[in-house]
Amino acid sequence: MTTVTLDDIRAARERIAGKVEHTPTVPSPTLSERLGVPVHLKLEHRQTTGAFKLRGASNAVASLNAQERARGVVAASTGNHGRALAHAAKLEGMRAVICMSRLVPGNKLDEIRRLGAEIRIVGNSQDDAQQEVERLVAQEGLVMLPPFDHPSIIAGQGTLGLEMIEQVPDATLVLVPLSGGGLAAGIAAAVKGVSPTTKVIGISMARGAAMKASLDAGRPVLVEELPTLADSLGGGIGLDNRLTFAMCRDLLDDVVLLDEDEIAAGIRHAYAQEREIVEGAGAVGIAALLAGKVKANGPVVVLLSGRNIDMDLHRKIVCGEAITERAA
């Protein structure tokens, strides 16, 4: 079976050097005290486009040949991959088309437009948006660079794992947001390639966790996409999934699901205690620790994966106001 190796990830790091930020990892005194072990936060939400996705998108674009670059790129996205791909394509003077469902928040649409990409809004799920991607590939010859199930995307995201284990070499546990699995698979391959005893746990929301449902079923399955505070974790993994399902199955030590109140608590803690603004998907690692759903007997690294939250929603969450409009 084709997979992404540690060598692939190291090659991706060389390829994207100078195109992405090497983000810091800092200790969290409040979480460390709560857990009784050192807890470190990987501040990837400070990445250039506000999320980790720039790593995979930059590696994928850099891996294209001249003919493919001339054709332009297309992808389905819940927002952050689209923004990253738009940024990477703009740097290379390439056409980019981003297809999204109606569930994608407006602030993410605005940023993608600002970067000059074309936007297509199709249906109520990422699977619906993917159908438009496939039409554009067939009819206009665009090159599809999917958000997770692609070797260059996975290898690019895996560069985070290299940084995390280099910054905290004695880490016993790494917490990673889990959606389609590109991030979790890449980080797990990197971390376990360097430090085989370090555990990697995927964290997702209870509302529409496609990878968790697929892992439980033993095969990729369809899951209804529902509104959630962790909107970046929405969408399916694809019934024809080639890479991330098997890699997550083989490399992740566990998967933890969170309800909406727990995710909101993670966002609030990040702001009030860590002085960091993160979106729901970026806060799930913190949320899992606060909810007591993850235990550790040694240093923990928690990935804060993105900050692209609607600020009005963030204010409501921080102030403890009703959040039913995103979670109903």
In tens, the pLDDT along 177-227 reads 999 999 999 999 999 999 999 999 999 999 999 999 999 999 999 999 889
Report the sign of the C-alpha dihedral through residues 237, 232, 291, 262, in that order: negative
Query: Which residue range(s) make up the domain with 101?
Result: 54-144
Confidence of residue 328 (pLDDT cuts 50, 70, 90): very low
Cβ neighbours of 187 (radius 10 Å): 33
For residues 138 and 185, membership in a common domain is answered with no
Given a cut of 90, is residue 249 above it in pLDDT? yes
Given a cut of 80, is residue 325 above it in pLDDT? no
- Domain boundary, last residue among 90, 120, 144: 144
For residues 132 and 159, membership in a common domain is answered with no
The three-class DSSP label of residue 168 is: coil
Confidence of residue 323 (pLDDT cuts 50, 70, 90): low
The three-class DSSP label of residue 1 is: coil
- Predicted confidence (pLDDT) per residue in 50-64, tens digit: 999 999 999 999 999
Query: Does this model's pTM top 0.95?
Result: no
Mean pLDDT of 98-118: 92
Neighbour order of strands in the sheet with 173-177:
25-27, 39-43, 300-304, 173-177, 199-205, 254-258
Structure tokens given for 206: 């209870």
Number of domains in the chain: 2
CATH number at residue 82: 3.40.50.1100
Q: Are 84 and 54 in contact (CB under 8 A)?
A: yes
Strand locations in the chain, DSSP E?
A: 25-27, 39-43, 73-76, 96-100, 118-121, 143-144, 173-177, 199-205, 254-258, 300-304
Share of the chain above pLDDT 90, in %: 88
Residue with tokens 């980019």: 96
For residues 218 and 257, membership in a common domain is answered with yes
Lowest-confidence region among 72-86, 166-180, 262-276: 72-86
Mean pLDDT of the chain: 94
